[in-house]
Amino acid sequence: MAISEIALSDAPPDVETAAPRRFIRAVLRNRKAAVGAAILVLIAFVAAFPGLLAPSDPHATSFAQNASPSSAHLLGTTQLGEDVLSQLIWSTRLTLIVTLIVSAIATFLSMIIGVTAAYVGGVTDRVLTVVTDVFLILPVLPLLILLAAYLPPGRSRPGSFARRGFRCATVTFLSRPGHAASGGSTSSWSRSCRP
């Protein structure tokens, strides 16, 4: 037997394919994780293919106004005569996009705040901790109600995607931007992470 044959037979399994398989097996073994993954896949499917699932155009105003739920309109209609189920299905895409973008931005900023506080320490650590605590103390629900009261109502127009996305991102971002950075006192991190 040649050395090259021994080296090939003793090689570990491909790490790139073994890790995802182990992850999928672990998710499927845990009932809660499997249900969560199924819900996430369902939401992603609805966001990817709203035209296949929505019973009508979300902005069509040809239906009865303020109709209660029925077999024709499972969730009823709005005061303008729009099908609520169609609006819910079509809005899933924007909601998912905004959620992913805001989560990425909040995670990045929280990481920067936490690492900066831990690395620099001292007064900077205390100031960043106080700022983070202020964001965590702000009452989110009254702030969101106030913003919803002052944002103008209305239907989506073709050019309003960016504006509505920015508004959603702002509201979501302001709700808990320092949450991940506040994983306890940063002072203990700063003492252990300084060079």
Question: pLDDT-derived band of residue 194, with 50, 70 and 90 as boundaries?
Answer: very low
Distance separating alpha carbons of residues 59 and 61, to the nearest angstrom: 6
Q: What is the pLDDT of residue 44?
A: 93
pLDDT at residue 102 in the model: 86
Residue 63 belongs to a domain: no
Residues 30-85: tens digit of each pLDDT: 999 999 999 999 999 999 999 999 888 888 888 888 888 888 888 888 888 888 89
Is residue 1 one of the residues assigned to a domain? no
Is residue 77 in some structural domain? no
- For residue 23, the enclosing domain spans 14-48
Residues 176 and 118 grouped into a single domain: yes
Task: Supply 30's token pair.
Answer: 């845990």
Check whether residue 110 and residue 171 sit in a common domain: yes
Number of folded domains in the chain? 2
What are the tens digits of pLDDT across the range 74-126?
Answer: 888 888 888 889 999 999 998 899 888 988 998 998 899 999 999 998 999 99
Q: Same domain, yes or no, for 42 and 100?
A: no
Judge whether 88 lies within some domain: yes
Instruction: Please tell me whether residues 106 and 30 are part of one structural domain.
Output: no
- Rounded Cα gap, residues 127 and 117, in angstroms: 9
Look at residue 20 and tell me if it is in a domain: yes
pTM of the predicted model as reported, rounded to 2 decimal places: 0.59
Q: What pLDDT is recorded for position 185?
A: 39
How far is Cα 110 from Cα 116, in angstroms, rounded to an integer? 10
List pLDDT tens digits, range 7-25. 555 555 565 677 888 989 9
Residues 119, 35 share a domain? no
| Cβ neighbours of 100 (radius 10 Å) | 10
Q: How many CA atoms lie within 13 A of 173 on its CB side?
A: 17
The per-residue b/e assignment along 125-144, b for 16 or more CB within 10 angstroms, e otherwise, is beebbebbeebeeeeeeeee
Q: What is the pLDDT of residue 178?
A: 46
- The label of the residue with tokens 């009452």 reads 139
pLDDT score for 125: 92
Q: How confident is the model at residue 191 (pLDDT cuts 50, 70, 90)?
A: very low
Both 95 and 182 in one domain: the answer is yes
Tell me, yes or no, whether 70 lies in a domain.
no
Q: Are 60 and 83 spatial neighbours (Cβ–Cβ below 8 Å)?
A: yes
Residues 40, 93, single domain; the answer is no
